Structure 1
Amino acid sequence: MVHELNSLLQSGRITKIHQPYDNEVIITFRANRKNFPVLLSAHPNYARVQVTKIPYANPAVPTNFTMMLRKYLDGAILNSIKQVENDRIINFSFSKRNELGDIDELLLAVEIMGRRSNIILLNNTTKVIIDTIKHINADQNRYRLLLPGATYITPPSQNKQNPFTDSSEAYKIDLEKYPNQEVLADELRKNYQGINKETSLELANYLHLHPSDSAFTDFFDKFEHPEPVMTTQKKKPTYTAFPYATLEGQVQHFDSLSALLDAFYVANAQRDRVIQKAGNLVRVVKNDLKKNRNKLKKLNQTLQSSEKADSYKIKGEILTTYLNRVKRGMTEITLPNYYEDNHDIKILLSNQISPSQNAQKYFKKYQKSKNAVHYVSEQLEKTHQEIDYLDNIMTQIELANPQDLDEIREELEKEGYLKPNQKKKKQKRLQHSKPETFHATDGTQISVGKNDTQNDRLTLKTAKKSDIWLHTQKIPGSHVIIHSSDPSEQTISEAANLAAYFSKAQLSSHVPVDYVSVKKVHKPNGAKPGLVIYEGQSTILVDPDEKLVNQLRK
């Protein structure tokens, strides 16, 4: 990656600096008459450095770290990008004139070390830290401070050899001593920097297949001429700088390491970014879902008890008919039930009231239960609608891109689930995001709404009445529009695949998708955002296919 970045960015100038997410910075370089957005990530699980083409949304207010980077690096010239031996540290060296006209030598160190990953800006001459994306004090790390004003110390050495420059000839391994490749792989990891399990197994296999003094250096020479690939086995992808004979599965080739990383991390990293940004939204929606599901359970229990209403009426009428047999002070009586061929029915009585009052008591119970049935039925319908709506919102959050979340938040504020942010009111009005655009194999344009705001606008305002509307049948998901009045069967199938993929049934198979012309889709008065009704639909069954979705994106 260092070689790739050097070839693209050498002597480039920084034109933009953004921090769209907590642990990630995107620095745009202008080099060779092109702009290159470079992602520097200190994410605990997805830390990396690469040129990225994945779109991102900037926060309204830049972070302190962003402001510090802009102050010192905006307009700076890139001198070099170097890796610290074969360790997971990449140093970006810059030059920039300060306010006095003197040239400052600055270093941006990206340490890719799992949960200890960090991005550190320092003066390259004095080694004094200017700022870090994560502040680490003495309580967290006794070996070194990562705070503004502290002296930068590199992470502790692991006392391992750099496999690219090893001159000790330790790599001339006695293969007879290590006939088991896994044992040899373990030994290689113990002795050499920056080698993971997959690479050590591939190296061990290569050494056994090519038993010569040059095999070790020949293997590492391959990294100088990468052929980026992603190997997928049992839906688990692994990326490598070149094809590994020890990795089996479907192989996908890429033009660059950056393109490989974009493809590998696009789903996981995006999902994590959404979870980070949507933390409060998810909590609110889950809590409301839990409340409504508990309410539904209680309402169903009340409905079951209210089903006894007719029995109260029968008992009241039988008591009234045979009132002369009922004596004050009785606690129960058995009378003929003329509603069931005069089978006897036992009726409980209160000995504190008269026979007539006992009959009236059953009539009152009957009326109360009947009223309860009517009320409970109304509440059940409302609660079901509420659960469907919140389920739909949760699905939208799970499928959203980070930039889609602001509209979901705004909708939840309007619907009363979230308190409006007073600070945001003073900011500019939120610009509405647009549905995602795809193209069918025959070139027909297909639009997919990612939230209720997009869905309503797409279906009710943007789409023509003759266009075709698609949605998963009785499953929360996106509104999909085929911008054609007479699409081919293949286009309908591809659009249905999009509807199934961008729904709660994304991981299911044989997903039913309804499709109908837009003119037959209507929004009921007072309906919640995203809710529509339709008639005259046809239905198609599809299996959501991520590969097809990515093909239709291009």
Structure 2
Amino acid sequence: MAFDGLFTRAMVKELADCLVGGRVAKISAPYKNEVILTIRNQRKNYPLLLSAHPTYARTQITEIPYSNPQTPTNFTMVLRKYLESAKLSFVEQFENDRVINFGFVTRNELGDKLPLLLSLEIMGRYSNLILVDQETGKIIDTVKHVSMDQNRYRTLLPQATYRLPPSQGKINPFKDESKAYLELLRKFPNREVLAKNIVKTYQGFSRESALILADRLHETRELDDAFAAFLRETNNPHPTILETDKGLDFTCFKASSEHVATFETLSLMIDAYYREKATRDRVMSQGSKLIHVIKNNLSRNRKKLVKLEKELKATENADEYRIKGELLTTYLYQINRGMTEVMLNNYYDHEKPVKISLSNQLSPSANAQKYFKRYQKLKNAVSFVTRQIDLTKKEIDYLETIQAQIELAEPEDLQDIELELEKGGYLETKNKAKKKPRQAKSKPETFIASDGTEISVGKNNYQNDRLTLKTAKKDYYWLHVKNVPGSHVIVNSDSPSDETLTEAAIIAAYYSKSRASANVAVDFVQVKKIRKPNGAKPGFVIYEGQKTLYVTPDKELIEKLKHAK
């Protein structure tokens, strides 16, 4: 279901129970249009995510790790100025709409109490996060500025008077004394049509929620009880991720037996639902420039490889030119200047006659030399073209490795990949004259095998090189998918069990271009048998004495081992 008014109501209750009375301990903005307020309450820190993302606008307590950008946004600085150490006094929903108000109390420069309102409006591409001075009703700042030119009804700029979103003229289902659903059921007995009109009539209903209510009303004669029970479920939700015809979905209502997973809280469910989906979109958005560069270079090199292979095939006729030159030299006495062709017996092929084209401007000897020169040119080309084919194939393998790493990357991993492409000359270095602030080195992913052994996974070439060549001990075990771009995996043990090696191989298969394959070959060998050739590109190593395991990537096992740490 969408993050509609009913789901918002259930989430507001969950947040209020956990957070009201706590104080803001930290304010972060890991991504554009998103803020995390770490609220300290009852001796525990709760990272409260407030997202005005156009596609994934929501609020929840998140457990997904995040990192701050080097330079905070202006809105982040404003929030830090006003909300650090502020006490959260209430969390409320406006009517049954997707507007959540977080009330804070802090003190101004004079020590007087200052009530502030942080309003999150979950409205698709119009989503916003607005900080308001409750005493004056003036906006202090917003995560997205909206001028009069953009919206004549509401100006969302600093110092503008805060106005609520325009009313849609719908009924709040929790205040429906007219029992409009009875008339709707009478007029629209069809399930789909009934759901459509529930959305039109009641505030806060998405199509998915309306369909659930329509089914409940059709299943019972006690319509009033069914309607009230449906609304009461927002106070005692059932967080569930479902498998539908359109893919995964989530709900706070009781689900059928088709559910995929249930969770203790709505926040845990939303984390699980958005963890991969939102991360992939962020990577695709933030890494769009890198993806474009890789695609262009791959396309150019693949075309180059086709051309080189055609040239190599053409050199297969080199011996024909040599033979024709030798025949002309042998039978010079039969050739006269001015001839355009001659038929000679080929003593290399049982005296079979062969027709040889001649230039009437050249002497017989010069014609023979012309064929020898063509032969020598093609012979030299074989060596050059073969070397170029080898280099081009290595370039394609390298670019495909980067492409696979971007597909598997977290947003924070993109900095390493961008730096690698800059150093490799694929990207123009920005601000050459201005020295960039030193970026913290990203760390490999860590997993814990079933027997407690730690497994490390490099997610880009810099991590792979550091992990394999500098961090890992020589007697640890190294794994990599055979002949396919993928991550370096290190089992941090000199004598891992067969079960641990198998789990590490599954991880290696998952973090590779073969993650969708059913039977993946994974090589494993001790780190001491790994070496990097001089001048090799980042992430490239060679090894010998390896053994091979055949495994199938298993996402559920990956998640289990990742969260075992």
Range of TM-score over shorter length = over 0.9
After superposition, where does 1:343-358 map in structure 2 within 5 Å?
343-358=352-367
Most deviating of 292-301 and 175-184? 175-184
- Kindly state the Cα deviation for residue 266 of structure 1 after the two structures are TM-superposed: 0.3
Distance 1:48 1:29 in 2: 17
**For residue 422 of structure 2, what is the amino acid of its counterpart?**
E
The partner residue of 2:152 within 126, 139, 142 is 142
After superposition, where does 1:70-469 map in structure 2 within 5 Å?
70-173=80-183, 175=185, 177-212=187-222, 213-233=224-244, 236-245=247-256, 249-422=258-431, 426-469=435-478
The answer to whether the Cα contact below 8 Å between 2:104 and 2:115 also exists between their aligned partners in 1 is yes
Match in the other structure for 1:505: 514
**For residue 214 of structure 1, what is the amino acid of its counterpart?**
D
Distance 2:269 2:107 in 1: 36
Note closer, same or farther for the CA distance 1:355–1:119 as it changes in structure 2 (3 Å cut): same
Where 1:294 maps in the other structure, the secondary structure is helix
Note closer, same or farther for the CA distance 1:307–1:161 as it changes in structure 2 (3 Å cut): same
Note closer, same or farther for the CA distance 1:531–1:172 as it changes in structure 2 (3 Å cut): same
Report the RMSD for the aligned CA atoms in angstroms. Answer: 2.0
Distance 1:113 1:533 in 2: 53
Distance 2:506 2:258 in 1: 25
- Kindly state the Cα deviation for residue 173 of structure 1 after the two structures are TM-superposed: 4.5
Distance 1:163 1:66 in 2: 36
Note closer, same or farther for the CA distance 1:176–1:109 as it changes in structure 2 (3 Å cut): closer
The answer to whether the Cα contact below 8 Å between 1:233 and 1:250 also exists between their aligned partners in 2 is no
1:39 is the counterpart of 2:49: yes
Distance 2:184 2:283 in 1: 50
TM-score when normalising by structure 2: 0.93
**Unaligned regions of 5+ residues in structure 2, if any?**
1-10
**For residue 243 of structure 2, what is the amino acid of its counterpart?**
T
The answer to whether the Cα contact below 8 Å between 2:28 and 2:35 also exists between their aligned partners in 1 is yes
The answer to whether the Cα contact below 8 Å between 2:240 and 2:259 also exists between their aligned partners in 1 is no
- Kindly state the Cα deviation for residue 418 of structure 1 after the two structures are TM-superposed: 2.5
Most deviating of 207-216 and 375-384? 207-216
Sequence identity of aligned pairs in percent?
56
Distance 1:384 1:209 in 2: 64
Distance 1:256 1:424 in 2: 51
Most deviating of 443-452 and 162-171? 162-171
Where 1:232 maps in the other structure, the secondary structure is strand
Distance 2:296 2:33 in 1: 28
Match in the other structure for 1:56: 66
- Kindly state the Cα deviation for residue 374 of structure 1 after the two structures are TM-superposed: 1.0
**For residue 449 of structure 1, what is the amino acid of its counterpart?**
G
1:544 is the counterpart of 2:564: no
The answer to whether the Cα contact below 8 Å between 2:138 and 2:159 also exists between their aligned partners in 1 is yes
Distance 1:107 1:456 in 2: 49
- Kindly state the Cα deviation for residue 176 of structure 1 after the two structures are TM-superposed: 5.5
Distance 1:84 1:299 in 2: 67
The answer to whether the Cα contact below 8 Å between 2:29 and 2:72 also exists between their aligned partners in 1 is yes
Note closer, same or farther for the CA distance 1:329–1:155 as it changes in structure 2 (3 Å cut): farther
- Kindly state the Cα deviation for residue 183 of structure 1 after the two structures are TM-superposed: 2.3
Distance 1:355 1:376 in 2: 32
1:243-285 CA distances to partner (integer Å, 9 max, x unpaired)?
323xx52431111111111000000111122222222222222
TM-score when normalising by structure 1: 0.95
Where 2:485 maps in the other structure, the secondary structure is coil
- Kindly state the Cα deviation for residue 547 of structure 1 after the two structures are TM-superposed: 0.8
Distance 1:331 1:447 in 2: 72
Note closer, same or farther for the CA distance 1:521–1:425 as it changes in structure 2 (3 Å cut): farther
Where 2:95 maps in the other structure, the secondary structure is coil
The answer to whether the Cα contact below 8 Å between 1:56 and 1:402 also exists between their aligned partners in 2 is no
- Kindly state the Cα deviation for residue 377 of structure 1 after the two structures are TM-superposed: 1.2
- Kindly state the Cα deviation for residue 121 of structure 1 after the two structures are TM-superposed: 1.9
- Kindly state the Cα deviation for residue 427 of structure 1 after the two structures are TM-superposed: 4.7
Where 1:8 maps in the other structure, the secondary structure is helix
**For residue 215 of structure 1, what is the amino acid of its counterpart?**
A
**For residue 251 of structure 2, what is the amino acid of its counterpart?**
T
Distance 1:485 1:74 in 2: 48
**Unaligned regions of 5+ residues in structure 1, if any?**
none
The answer to whether the Cα contact below 8 Å between 1:57 and 1:402 also exists between their aligned partners in 2 is no
Distance 1:161 1:424 in 2: 61
Note closer, same or farther for the CA distance 1:189–1:174 as it changes in structure 2 (3 Å cut): closer
The answer to whether the Cα contact below 8 Å between 2:184 and 2:194 also exists between their aligned partners in 1 is no
- Kindly state the Cα deviation for residue 360 of structure 1 after the two structures are TM-superposed: 0.8
Distance 2:432 2:209 in 1: 51
Where 2:361 maps in the other structure, the secondary structure is coil
1:17 is the counterpart of 2:30: no
Distance 1:349 1:164 in 2: 98
Distance 1:303 1:136 in 2: 61
The answer to whether the Cα contact below 8 Å between 1:471 and 1:513 also exists between their aligned partners in 2 is yes
**For residue 287 of structure 1, what is the amino acid of its counterpart?**
N
The partner residue of 2:12 within 2, 25, 43 is 2
- Kindly state the Cα deviation for residue 99 of structure 1 after the two structures are TM-superposed: 2.0
- Kindly state the Cα deviation for residue 118 of structure 1 after the two structures are TM-superposed: 1.5
Number of residue pairs the alignment of both structures matches: 552
1:262-311 CA distances to partner (integer Å, 9 max, x unpaired)?
00000011112222222222222222222222222222222222222222
**For residue 161 of structure 1, what is the amino acid of its counterpart?**
I
